[in-house]
Amino acid sequence: MKGKQSFGFALMALLILPAMSGCLGGSDFVEELLNEKGIPGGLTLACLDGSTYTKLVIEVDYETGHKPESSSTDMLAERLEQVCDKPRGVEIVFALTDFEHEGSWTAQDVRDRGWATKDADVRDGSTLTWQIIFPSNTYEDDNVLGVAVDASTIAIFGESVDEAEGFFGRPSSEEVENSVVVHEAGHLLGLVNLVYTSPADHEDSENKGHSNNEDSVMYWAIESRSVGSFISGDLPTEFDQDDLDDMVGLADGSISCNNQLWRP
């Protein structure tokens, strides 16, 4: 797993990858590709394909007081089972963790502390493992609720999620967390246009990597603590038809997928 990609591949990726901000934690892409950490969407094909990686494990590492709601992790497993071909299933494992970090978090902090605390290799035999960390404190931009920082690592900031609860508890912090967890997982699946170009025009022009459809869990406002102000009614927790069609096309090869750490 620790083998290095060629410098030529990394340089090419640096030249063609779009800048990422907000809930897509920016990184030094050359360094990350050389270390095989990849970018959000860098294991899209490994997630969608079921021929080599037949099981997906979600390692949930959380600090005291920040364990996610069971509704969030149950929903995540359900959504992933719908789109990922994993004959041996999707499993969620939990671990109380001390990330040994003080103050607010940067994308690099998430990457460093995440990789330092992973219990399993990302790719081990026929098992693929993602990690979601639920740390104390907030992101450096405390308006951000979650970040995807590489091909397998997500952070959800519970303190900011709690602050995003709407007036009179609509949406509730639990409902916000439900949406944010699935949203960040969608980025690890490559949505929207992170490692491909969709034939559908559903990427928000001002918020790259996000949907322009407020009924999609990949809607751009889901990343913001002000999510309750942007969306009326129930928060989206499902991929819309354009998202689903993109993943079908990526899985069957009809949509070209780039910057992958693994290909079938």
- For 198-245, give the DSSP string: -SS--B-TTSTTSBS-TTSTTBGGGGBTTHHHH--SSPP-S--HHHHH
Domain residues for 233?
Answer: 20-252
Number of domains observed in the structure of the chain: 1
- What CATH number is attached to the domain comprising 50? 3.40.390.10
DSSP state of 67: P
Instruction: Please give the full DSSP string across 37-48, using - where no structure is assigned.
Output: ---TTTTHHHHH
What's the Cα-to-Cα distance from 108 to each of 136, 141, 152, 208, 238, rounded to whole Å? 16, 14, 14, 20, 29
- Domain-located, residue 15: no
Output the pLDDT for position 27. Answer: 56
Token pair, residue 180, equals: 């944010």
Contact predicate 63/136, CB 8 Å: yes
**Which residues on neighbouring strands pair with residue 128, listed in sequence order?**
56, 123
Q: Report pLDDT digits (tens) over 142-170.
A: 899 999 999 999 999 999 999 988 776 77
Nearest to 60 by CA among 93, 105, 107: 93
Q: Report pLDDT digits (tens) over 130-147.
A: 999 999 999 999 899 999
- Domain-located, residue 161: yes
Residue 100 has pLDDT above 60, yes or no: yes
Quick one: 201 exposed, middle or buried, by C-beta within 10 A (0-12, 13-18, 19+)?
A: exposed
Q: Report pLDDT digits (tens) over 227-248.
A: 665 555 688 999 999 999 999 9
- Domain-located, residue 4: no
Q: How far apart are CA 1 and CA 100, in angstroms?
A: 25
- Return the SS3 of 94: strand
- Domain-located, residue 160: yes
Contact predicate 21/146, CB 8 Å: no
Query: Which pLDDT band holds residue 114 (cuts at 50, 70, 90)?
Result: very high
- Domain-located, residue 264: no
* Cis amide linkage into residue 57, ω under 30° from 0: no
- Domain-located, residue 8: no
Output the pLDDT for position 18. Answer: 38
- Domain-located, residue 117: yes
DSSP state of 169: G
Q: How far apart are CA 139 and CA 146, in angstroms?
A: 8
- Domain-located, residue 262: no
Q: Mean pLDDT throughout 92-101?
A: 97
Q: Mean pLDDT throughout 105-122?
A: 96
